[in-house]
Structure 1
């Protein structure tokens, strides 16, 4: 029998970001599987628990943590090594999730709580598809408010210039991809603020940056990148020191990109 699996976007940590469709999906779940990424992200699991406690009936669900496999030193890998490492990580993750699901009661509905929206730089859909190659599943995906949307809202900005494009990429790809005609460039998954490497090429770049978006510890910074660079480095380190982790997103624009 095929097991029903809900992949639910939960926004960036605030219950206010969870849509009515997402709440209905969460209420249909009996078990939430959560990756155990060790102490560094313990508070991220706590945020998910708190969110469910705020939205769901006590005793109507349970959390099962699944030890996350080691991923490896991505920063020191070339493109081929990076892709191979991610594929291996996904495969092992899928195996562990399938093993847990096979041990659940027949008919138990499984949920995955996805930070932001499942469509943006998140591996859950791919991993659940891989699970389906090991044990039968019926997958239902619910969108969520992404960090990209929250960043724009918290800064009160429009991401695109009038009729202009928006380019979304990762810190790993930013330096090689950036060029002025891309319009607004939104950067996710940047552990090293690689935007600072663009200062010589584009000294007039402006940045809208946010960390822990949607959470009580949210921090925002904006300005000409050259002017706020040192503050970004210091602030990001302070957030990591305070919380043990940092999730940040930023948008880069040139003055002519203004909407």
Structure 2
């Protein structure tokens, strides 16, 4: 029997791991750390640092190379094939290092339930028993860094992706939109008037970068700063909150 723990590690700051996350890591027989070819070693180094600082048990730490997602297939088809490939690597490494079964931990950025596919990939492992350990999300880190509330009083918030914002525009029914996984600065497609943006990259890390202001002026600044940071570090993780000014309520003539 394989027991798989998907451990949310927040934005990579060891201080953000919960006690439950630390316990799950130290209860594991094997911890798998992915290596990505399209990024410098920072992402892997952060996971290594977390293990070095927080592991007190005998868990074996094993690194593996992440497969690349096909760029020539339709998006959903490419993602499905990519997930199959990742699951096959997980099973290969588990079979190699835990032939008699045991417990495995994977360190997941943010929270395993929010725009991360580890849970979906884990269903491909068959009879594995899966535990989800929640973590601090980039959304929480973003609002904390800017010192703002996620939602306006009695108003909803919608969480979406850069791909969706680019294709669909501003979602109906909300004045506040959180955008994740946006490699193309999709906010540039919006009419900027009346919209404010709170943006953050490398949240809670030493290289954290924050920009806030009207989208018309802050948007171009974010595009330039984002390109600069990605060039410097070889990778970037960022997210942002967009908030549209609410229309002033109309006065009913009978009550004025």
Pick aligned residue for 2:140 from 149, 154, 161: 149
Residue 16 of structure 1: CA displacement? 1.4
Pick aligned residue for 1:182 from 174, 179, 183: 174
CA distance in 2, matches of 1:90, 1:71: 9
TM-score computed with the length of structure 2 as normaliser: 0.91
Q: Which moved more, 1:173-182 or 1:90-99?
A: 173-182
RMSD of aligned Cα (Å): 1.7
Residue 255 of structure 1: CA displacement? 2.3
CA distance in 2, matches of 1:62, 1:234: 42
The answer for the alignment partner of 1:111 in structure 2 is: 105
Q: Runs of 4 or more off by more than 2 Å in structure 1?
A: 59-63, 105-108
Report if aligned partners of 2:175, 2:245 keep a CA contact under 8 Å in 1: no
Q: Which moved more, 1:165-174 or 1:234-243?
A: 234-243
The answer for the alignment partner of 1:160 in structure 2 is: 151
> What 5-or-longer segments of structure 2 have no aligned partner?
248-256
The answer for the alignment partner of 1:238 in structure 2 is: 228
Cα 1:179–1:93 change in 2 (3 A) is closer
Q: Is the counterpart of residue 214 in structure 1 residue 204 in structure 2?
A: yes
> What 5-or-longer segments of structure 1 have no aligned partner?
none
Q: Is the counterpart of residue 101 in structure 1 residue 91 in structure 2?
A: no
Report if aligned partners of 1:180, 1:254 keep a CA contact under 8 Å in 2: no
Residue 181 of structure 1: CA displacement? 3.0
The answer for the alignment partner of 2:19 in structure 1 is: 20
TM-score computed with the length of structure 1 as normaliser: 0.90
Cα 1:128–1:179 change in 2 (3 A) is closer
CA distance in 1, matches of 2:131, 2:76: 26
Considering fraction of residues, name the structure with more helix. Answer: 1
Q: Is the counterpart of residue 82 in structure 1 residue 75 in structure 2?
A: yes
Pick aligned residue for 2:189 from 171, 175, 197: 197
SS in 2 for 1:144: coil
CA distance in 2, matches of 1:48, 1:154: 22
Residue 177 of structure 1: CA displacement? 4.5
